[in-house]
Amino acid sequence: MTKAMIDSDEGLKDRDEVLEEMRSLFRYEDELLKGNWYSETDFVEEVVALAKELLDISTQNE
């Protein structure tokens, strides 16, 4: 296995982790907001932060 393949595998794992976290946020959005786990502003900020993280992971593997 080459270093590029290992880096690619790690990048895919990182990407999958971020995507799973985003899926969970959207899946439970109503409960998270109603239960005061997040304010609407905090929720949006978290989604934006995860999107930026996903973008960083994607551009690292180019």
Higher-confidence residue: 60 or 50? Answer: 50
Q: How many domains does the chain have?
A: 1
Assess if residue 9 is contained within a domain.
no
Collect contacts of 23-32 with beta carbons under 8 A, ≥24 apart.
25/50
Higher-confidence residue: 62 or 52? Answer: 52
Range of the domain at 34: 15-60
Assess if residue 52 is contained within a domain.
yes
Check if the beta carbon of residue 15 is closer than 8 Å to that of residue 50: no
| Amino acid at the residue 15 | R
Assess if residue 39 is contained within a domain.
yes
Residue 29 C-alpha from the chain's centroid? 15
Assess if residue 10 is contained within a domain.
no
Task: Flag whether the pTM goes above 0.85.
Answer: no
Assess if residue 8 is contained within a domain.
no
Exposure string for 1-40, b = 16+ CB within 10 A, e = fewer = eeeeeeeeeeeeebbeebeeebeeeeeeeeebeeeeebee
Condensed to tens digits (0 to 9), the pLDDT of residues 1-58 reads 444 444 567 778 899 999 999 999 999 999 999 999 999 999 999 999 999 999 998 8
